[in-house]
Each structure stands twice: as C-alpha cells, then as structure tokens.
Amino acid sequence: MAVPGSDNKGPCYWCFKTVKWIPVLFIVTIVAWSYYAYVIQLCLITVESPAKQVIYLLFYHFFFFMFSWSYWQTIFTDIGQVPNKYKIPDADYEAYINHSDSYETQNTILETFARHLPITNITISGGVRFCEKCKIIKPDRAHHCSVCGVCILKMDHHCPWINNCVSFTNYKFFVLFLGYALAYCAYVSLTSLPYFISFWRGDLQGMGRFHILFLFFVAIMFGVSLMSLFGYHCYLVCENRTTLEAFRPPSFRGVGADKYGFHIGRYKNFQEVFGDDPKTWLLPVSTSLGDGIEYPVHSRHQQSSYHSMDNTQTSLGDGLTFPQRQMEEDQEGLLHEQNFEEETTHYYS
C-alpha cells in the first residue's frame, strides 16, 4: 500500500503508517479474545456434553477459518496499479500545466492523448477524467485515494478496518469477509444464547460466566452492524455499482450520468465479481472477471469509448468479449431502458 509522502520516510511517515494499523489490531484483538471465550470458557469448561462440545467446535472452527482467511485476503491483497499507458508524457503534462487558465485547452490535450485508451467515463462537465497527482488518465471506475496516495482500480472506498482500499482486486474478498464475519457472529450468538440465559438465571458459576456474557453481547453488536453492511454490498454486487458510484453515478460520453451504465444483468453482475465457476464463489481466492481496466457496459454506451477495444480476448463463454458485452434484452434490461430518462440523475459539484 502506498502512503502519501512515502518517498521521505521520516518519523511522521512511520507514525502515520503505525496509526493506520490500530483499527486492524482492534479487530484482531476482539477476534482473539472471542476465540478464547468460545473455545475455552464456553465449549471446554461450560458445555458438559462431549458430543455437543465436538459439534460446537467443528462448526465454530469452520466459520473462524473462513472468516480469518477472507480477512487476511482483504487486508494483504495488493490494490493493483494503473498501467503505464495511462500516464501522460512529461511534455503533454507541461503543456497541460502551462494552460491552467484554459479548461478547453487542457481538455483538448487530454482528449488527444486519451483517444487511444479504452475509456467510457467522463467528468460531470464532459471532460476527460485526469488525476493531477498521479499524472494519469483515470481508467473507468478508477479514483484517487488520498490515504493510499495512488489511483485505485474500481475503487469502492478506503476501509480503515482493513487498512486498505476496497477495490477491483479485493472486492470479492471484502464481501466474503463481511458474509463470514456475519455468519461467525450469528453462530456464536445462537450457540451461546442458552448459556447466556443460564447466566441471568444464576445457574452459571465462576469467572468464566462473564466471558460468556460479553461474548454474547459482542457477537450481537457486531452482527447487527454487519447485517446492514453485508446486505448493502450484496445489493451493490447485484447492481454492479461501487459505493462511490451509488452516491454519484458515473458519467458516459454522449449520455451523461447513468447509474445503470455498468449493469449487464444481475447474474452477470455477480459473475463479474465472483467469477463463472460456482465451486469458487465462496472461497476467498481471486476469480473476478476482467483486468480492472475495462468493463462491460450497457449497449447504449458501446460507441462512447475512444476505440472499439476489438483486441480484448476475455470472454464469459458465450462468444461475447468481456469489455464489449452488451446486456441482453431480458425483462430487467427492458425495464431499465424504459425508465432510463426518468431515473438518470445529474450531479453537480
């Protein structure tokens, strides 16, 4: 992960880098304590039936392992890098800076360079999306992260709880992390509920009962928070949007803001994130389709890019290349098409 000012690794750099890990350490501490409270205090000390102990521990360790694996992948998966072909030459950048008083001239310089790039997104004002900090033409769905200090491919948001950006490379892992964390909390709360009730009845003795009490409350608290967050990201996956795009729909050349611009049907939207092999959908391994640079778009945007992208080979198996895929005119697509004029919203900043 890039950090602003990483070229000058002074005390401030290392202090900033250390502080960013505090939320992650907090989560790891809570999870480590929950492991002790559940395995030792609940299963091995409180639960009396050996058969129930085995069943509890088997299912618990499954959820614990999948949650930990997903969390690890979400944190340590590299955020990716914008290819060098999107970086404008120094001469063009100098010309861009020298014409800072003329938006039209600056945009003409960017347009000239970007005409060979497979981009469909534009700014709200209709210009080329350009990052002055990274000196690159932004690929579709890419945004600059001020915390990471670089442009992120298909940026969803920067999450302090993973000390990383949620982006194209780890979005599947992030959704699985939320799902398995929710399942972990639900399992812990449900299996500890009878012993929580026994605590209030005064049937549990010893200091371990307080671990069970707090374990139940913590599992419920985190579970409720995760439920809404996981549900929201499931919705985003089905609609093929990022969190940023949900707040501000991407703008397309010749069309304007369109919240359905990347919608290619809910099942294909799901495949774009989780892949086309059902056996790997629930595993935190990289199976997302595409390269994070080009994305299939609605048929009305097929001619809005600077070139046809004829050379891309990635396919979903039905003969249509991945970045050129047109949404089939199924019932859902027709409804979106009919309501496009009244549902499209223009945002100004």
C-alpha dist (Å) from residue 312 to 37, 277, 343? 52, 21, 32
Q: Under 8 Å CB-to-CB from 289, ≥6 apart: which residues? A: 271, 272, 275, 276, 314, 316, 322
Place of tokens 């491919």: 153
The closest of 247, 267, 241 to 325, measured between CA atoms, is: 267
The closest of 1, 349, 347, 270 to 159, measured between CA atoms, is: 1
Beta bridge partners of 122: 251
The closest of 138, 81, 129, 84 to 107, measured between CA atoms, is: 129
Number of H helices, E strands in the chain: 11, 9
Strands annotated E in 97-177: 121-122, 130-131, 136-137, 143-145, 150-152, 157-159, 164-166
Q: Which residues are catalytic?
A: 159
Neighbours of 228 (CB within 10 A): 9
Q: How far apart are CA 311 and CA 161, in angstroms?
A: 39
For residue 240, with 0-12 CB atoms within 10 Å meaning exposed, 13-18 middle and 19 or more buried, which class applies? Answer: buried
